[in-house]
Amino acid sequence: MKRRQFVGGLAAAASVAACTGEGPECESGAAQSSEMFEWSCVTSWPPKYPGLGIAVNNLAERVEAASDGRLKIKVYGGGELVPAFEAFDAVSRGTVEMGHDASYYHKGKIAAAQFFTAIPFGMNAAELNGWFYYGGGIELWRELYAPFDIVPFPCGNTGVQMGGWFNREINSAKDLEGLKMRIPGLGGEVIRRAGATPVTLPGSEIFTSLQTGAIDATEWVGPYNDVAFGLHKAAKYYYYPGWQEPGAGLELMVNSEAWASLPPELQALVELAAQAITTDMLAEYTHGNALALQQLKDNPDIEVRPFPDDVLRVLKGHTQDIVDEQSASDPAWKKIAESYYAFMNKSTDNQMATEVAFLNTRAL
């Protein structure tokens, strides 16, 4: 019933978007155009993977249902059509119309793209959405991607992640030295400055790499996805919090020419569906992480531990250094960083007086 209500709501919204003027087509409720579209969407996730991968399938199904089949989207998992980390390039070239991944995978092309997934010690999911939808974040994002012929949309958020799985204890910052850790984005550069070696791997390769010792540690997402990959069978120590990804936002990318080809009502439908997936994914992770973390805490072979405060202070210091250095050399980074941190600094007092204060009362 809830699914029917959701799809019905999207269809109604699309109908409203179509009928912005006067005419018999609006009076009868008919769409302005009956043209059909068949798109391909490539992702960075294993096919139909819980959370990350399922969200894209849900997006495709809901758009097709709400558009009455006018827009059909075929989803390909990472490696099925293009390699897991090449979704951005495929959409930019127009090889496919759509892609879904995390923007920090493109840091080699656009360093500032990392702000739209996660910045270490940065904004959580609620704050990131506030910045996106009401603080100018989406406009900055689209400006950044325009030269690559991509129109981006927020499309999913995992919430605060875990710090990762380690095959050694982390009792001080010195224990990070020499560590080989799978960690993408700005977090990888922070770990490098702490003396570790960051490694970028697609999700499908993490378990084997950790089990064989090719890496000593990995961050992935959180208990829900980590248990799905069996990471608890390859490492003993599970550290929190996820300083590196406090609210990991995911992106839907649409080739700009393909986007322009859609009539307004289908554009509105895609945008609404992407926003709905962001809400839905966070709900899925909130539920799934709660159950999976309890499972891990009940496992006598696993130790769930907080990072020592001095380790977090060192990592936070490196993060600030990198942000400042990049701002001094990259105008796009500086422009986005100023907007990002201006909102985060305003939001922090509110978060401390509401979310943090309330959660503290639950521990009384």
User: What does the DSSP assignment read for 240-257?
Assistant: E--TT-SS-EEEEEEEHH
* pLDDT confidence band for 31 (50 / 70 / 90): very low
Distances (CA, A) of 292 to 32, 205, 288, 302: 47, 21, 6, 13
Phi, psi values for residue 23, rounded to 5°:
155, 165
122-151 pLDDT, tens digit per residue, is: 999 999 999 999 999 999 999 999 999 999
Residue for token digits 């960075």?
44
Q: Exposure string (b/e) for 31-61, b if CB count within 10 Å is 16 or more? A: bbeeeebebbbbbbbbbebbbbbbbbbbbbb
Predicted pLDDT of residue 34? 84
Q: Is 205 exposed, middle or buried (0-12, 13-18, 19+ CB in 10 A)?
A: middle
Predicted pLDDT of residue 341? 98
Asked whether the CA dihedral 99, 103, 108, 109 is positive or negative, the reply is positive
Q: Rounded to an integer, what distance in angstroms lies between the CA atom of residue 340 and that of residue 116? A: 10
% of residues, the chain, pLDDT over 90: 90
Predicted pLDDT of residue 32? 54
184-235 pLDDT, tens digit per residue, is: 999 999 999 999 999 999 999 999 999 999 999 999 999 999 999 999 999 9
Residue type, 192: R
Q: Which residue, 243, 249, 245, 240, is CA-closest to 293?
A: 240
Reply yes or no on whether the pLDDT at 354 is more than 90.
yes
Q: Is 125 exposed, middle or buried (0-12, 13-18, 19+ CB in 10 A)?
A: buried
Question: Both tokens of residue 35?
Answer: 């043209």
Q: Rounded to an integer, what distance in angstroms lies between the CA atom of residue 153 and that of residue 76? A: 19
Report the pLDDT averaged over residues 263-291: 97
Query: 178: left (phi > 0), else alpha (psi -120 to 50), else beta?
Result: left
Q: Rounded to an integer, what distance in angstroms lies between the CA atom of residue 103 and that of residue 187? A: 13
Helices 137-145 and 125-134 pack at an angle, to 10 degrees, of: 80
303-348 pLDDT, tens digit per residue, is: 999 999 999 999 999 999 999 999 999 999 999 999 999 999 999 9
Domains of the chain by start residue, with CATH = 2-156+247-286 (3.40.190.170), 161-244+301-322 (3.40.190.10)
Helices 264-297 and 2-18 pack at an angle, to 10 degrees, of: 150
Q: Rounded to an integer, what distance in angstroms lies between the CA atom of residue 213 and that of residue 322? A: 29
* pLDDT confidence band for 12 (50 / 70 / 90): very low
- Scanning the chain, the segments in alpha helix (DSSP H) are 2-18, 24-27, 52-66, 87-93, 125-134, 137-145, 185-193, 206-212, 223-228, 256-261, 264-297, 309-329, 331-351, 357-362
Q: Rounded to an integer, what distance in angstroms lies between the CA atom of residue 162 and that of residue 238? A: 8
- Scanning 229-330, the segments in alpha helix (DSSP H) are 256-261, 264-297, 309-329
Predicted pLDDT of residue 10? 53
38-96 pLDDT, tens digit per residue, is: 999 999 999 989 999 999 999 999 999 999 999 999 999 999 999 999 999 999 999 99
% of residues, the chain, pLDDT over 70: 91
Q: Rounded to an integer, what distance in angstroms lies between the CA atom of residue 117 and that of residue 103? A: 6
Reply yes or no on whether the pLDDT at 30 is more than 80.
no
